[in-house]
């Protein structure tokens, strides 16, 4: 059979397959599980016809990839963006399956969306699109079947429209979407979850590798890119803990705070971003000279000293040259809150620095990454793709749990559960990396959390599939 060309999905599959080779060599019977798990359980594609403000019918393609339900209902976001296609959604659903497995919650993996672009559309147009989209999707989702969430282009407004359409079609009020409003089934700290979860994971890395650069110390310098939801809450958590955040950015340029951002600064930027404002316009309204704006720049080359770099904007936002600048600035941890934040060239720089004993530890976000060698002969550790930014889906799972019980937990309860989930994910990755990475472990060499995450998530899904009769 001639399969369609799906470059994003094929790359993710190839990278996972390669990273599993040491484990599969020791456990060859799991090869059959890999052969089966890579095929989605169900792929839905449908037409979405909606009416624009001029009364003209418009058409878009709708998708839902229900990838794997071995551990629970399908769980993954709905992406609304012109770039959406089946290859991207299969890649994301595949990755989501193993990310969700690491949370310890009852969630399978899935992903969906449409090539509809909400940018430039009126609220009425978006509402009509969401109603048309849900008029087909409602047949295939439910609180015990498939629970979508927000993603790029799908925020609180879109979740509200989608939930309302489902409620009218099904005549029931159930938790079949996450990311809902607090007054109608949402969870506390859901907006904060990805940023907070990233920091909770990074704290474990720091404690094991470089406690002298703890986030509790004002002398610890943290560079963050982006200024959207993830970056704002990453910055707020770092500031709360006591470290110094010296950078943010957006698509127009980078903003440097030589003395550090304050909580009030981040909250003010957040309000501006909700209105579509830029950092350049924000800094022009600030008194004094606390900030330096660099048009067309990213923050990685703009600070002489950086202890921890946290990309939180978009994919491929750290180039090879910028990675070299980070290493020269003394960076110890590069942990992505964004998806695929570093280019392959940047990853190579960090890997070379690790091999040279410079203590750089790289933490990719939401993508399977495979290095040609997993030999950890110096103090370097790659944080696993699925684990570094799984805080968002973890709190989505907690929202599902609250909905099932018809309860609402307090902010502190949810935050404590998120901390425990991230600690358990770290432990799983550490243990699996120690046991299954294929490395020769020597004194002073840390195991590969990258390999550990891939193996831990894969084993959990594969074992559940075998017990349910999906392979033998």
Catalytic residues: 111
Cα Dmax for the chain: 70
- 344-355 burial code (b ≥16 CB/10 A, e <16): eebbebbbebbe
Spatial distance between the Cα atoms of 352 and 150, rounded to a whole number of angstroms: 37
Spatial distance between the Cα atoms of 72 and 200, rounded to a whole number of angstroms: 25
Residue in 442, 434, 437, 435 with CA at minimum distance from that of residue 374: 437
Alpha helices per DSSP H over 338-448: 344-355, 385-388, 391-405, 411-436
CB 65 within 8 A of CB 151: no
C-beta separation of 422 from 391 below 8 A = yes
Tokens representing 263 are 């909580």
Instruction: Let me know: does 156 contact 125? Beta carbons within 8 Å.
Output: no
Distance CA 339, CA 313 (A): 8
Tell me how far apart the alpha carbons of residues 355 and 380 are, in angstroms, rounded to a whole number: 7
Place of tokens 């919650």: 105
Report the alpha-carbon distance of residue 316 to residue 333 in Å, rounded. 17
Beta-bridged to residue 61, according to DSSP, are 47
**DSSP string computed for 104-125:** TSS--EEEEEES---TT--HHH
Taking residue 11's Cβ as centre, other Cβ atoms within 10 Å add up to 15
273: which 2 tokens? Answer: 């971003």
Note whether 194 and 389 are within 8 A (CB): yes
Sequential DSSP letters for 402-424 = HHHHT----HHHHHHHHHHHHHH
Task: Give the span between the Cα atoms of 235 and 250, in whole angstroms.
Answer: 14
DSSP category for residue 318: B
SS3 (DSSP) at 62: strand
Question: DSSP H helical segments within 50-170, as ranges?
Answer: 86-102, 123-137, 156-170
Q: Is the dihedral of CA 467, 470, 471, 472 positive or negative?
A: positive
């Amino acid at each position: 059979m001639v399969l369609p060309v799906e470059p994003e999905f094929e790359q993710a599959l190839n990278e996972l397959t390669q990273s599993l080779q040491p484990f599969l060599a020791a456990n060859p019977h799991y090869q059959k599980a890999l052969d089966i798990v890579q095929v989605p359980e169900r792929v839905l594609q449908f037409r979405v016809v909606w009416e624009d403000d001029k009364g003209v019918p418009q058409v878009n393609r709708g998708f839902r990839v229900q990838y794997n339900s071995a551990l629970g209902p399908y769980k993954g976001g709905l992406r609304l963006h012109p770039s959406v296609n089946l290859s991207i959604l299969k890649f994301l659903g595949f990755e989501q399956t193993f990310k969700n497995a690491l949370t310890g919650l009852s969630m399978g993996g899935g992903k969906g969306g449409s090539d509809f672009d909400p940018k430039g559309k009126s609220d009425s147009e978006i509402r009509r699109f969401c109603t048309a989209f849900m008029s087909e999707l409602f047949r295939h989702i439910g609180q015990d079947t498939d629970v979508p969430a927000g993603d790029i282009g799908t925020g609180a407004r879109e979740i509200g429209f989608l939930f309302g359409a489902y409620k009218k079609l099904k005549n029931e009020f159930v938790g079949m979407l996450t990311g809902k409003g607090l007054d109608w089934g949402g969870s506390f700290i859901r907006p904060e979850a990805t940023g907070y979860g990233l920091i909770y994971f990074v704290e474990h890395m720091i404690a094991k590798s470089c406690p002298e650069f703890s986030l509790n110390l004002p002398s610890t310098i943290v560079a963050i890119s982006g200024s959207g939801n993830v970056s704002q809450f990453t910055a707020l958590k770092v500031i709360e803990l006591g470290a110094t955040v010296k950078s943010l950015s957006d698509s127009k340029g980078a903003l440097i705070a030589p003395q550090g951002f304050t909580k009030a600064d981040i909250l003010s930027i957040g309000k501006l971003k909700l209105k579509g404002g830029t950092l350049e316009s924000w800094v022009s309204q600030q008194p004094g000279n606390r900030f330096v704006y660099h048009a067309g720049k990213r923050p990685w080359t703009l600070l002489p000293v950086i202890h921890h770099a946290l990309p939180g904007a978009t994919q491929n936002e750290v180039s090879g040259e910028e990675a070299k600048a980070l290493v020269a600035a003394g960076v110890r941890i590069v942990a992505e809150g964004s998806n695929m934040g570093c280019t392959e060239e940047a990853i190579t720089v960090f890997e070379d620095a690790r091999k040279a004993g410079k203590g750089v530890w790289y933490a990719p976000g939401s993508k399977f990454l495979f290095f040609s060698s997993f030999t950890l002969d110096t103090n370097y550790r790659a944080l696993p793709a699925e684990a570094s930014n799984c805080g968002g889906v973890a709190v989505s799972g907690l929202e599902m749990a609250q909905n099932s019980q018809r309860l609402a937990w307090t902010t502190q309860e949810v935050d404590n559960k998120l901390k425990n989930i991230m600690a358990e994910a770290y432990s799983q990755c550490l243990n699996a990396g120690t046991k299954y990475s294929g490395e020769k472990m020597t004194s002073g060499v840390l195991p590969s959390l990258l390999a550990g995450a891939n193996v831990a998530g894969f084993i959990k899904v594969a074992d559940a599939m075998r017990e349910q009769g999906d392979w033998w």
